[in-house]
A = this chain, B = another copy of it.
Amino acid sequence: MDLSPRDPDWQGRVRASFSAQKFMTLLGAELVHLSPGAVDLELAMRPELTQQHGFFHAGATSSIADSAAGYAALSLFAPDYGVLTSEYKINLLNPARQPVLLARGRVVKPGRTLTIAKADVYGLDDGEQVHVATGLFTLMSVSGVRD
């Protein structure tokens, strides 16, 4: 599997695009790791992110999984292509009630038009990692959409 970036400025581009995702700012997500085909995001628990039982809302968990997978894909795109999520599926494995969520997005199969990525989300709690979600994502490279 070839995970060579095709854009010399792939790091700058991913970081700039992530910063432009106002929804990630609203949630409070941070980009904590970036390498070709791999992006990790972290999200700290706040009451605003919870569902009715006080866990992270599945939508919050999925949102950081989606952005981690999407930026793992974008890290490999040619300069003139933007990234859009075409579809994804996610399994919620354990209640997400830890102080911090870590979403690891990894490219499974790069492609010119479609890139397949996976994302695993872990709840971090005092040195323990709980696997709270796993998902598969199809990302589309779109020309003329600036990232």
Contact = CB atoms under 8 A, between A and B. Distances in A.
Given A21-B50, A116-B91, A134-B116, A58 B82 contact: no
Interface stretch (A4-12, A30-38, A61-69): A61-69
A52 B108 contact: no
A140 B70 CA distance: 20
A86 B137 CA distance: 11
Copies in the complex: 4
B60 A62 contact: no
A48 B25 contact: yes
Q: Which of A49, A52, A60 has the largest number of chain B CB atoms within 10 A?
A: A52
Interface of A: 1, 17-18, 20-27, 47-53, 57-60, 62-64, 66-67, 70, 82, 84-95, 108-109, 113-114, 116, 118, 131, 134-136, 138, 140, 145-147
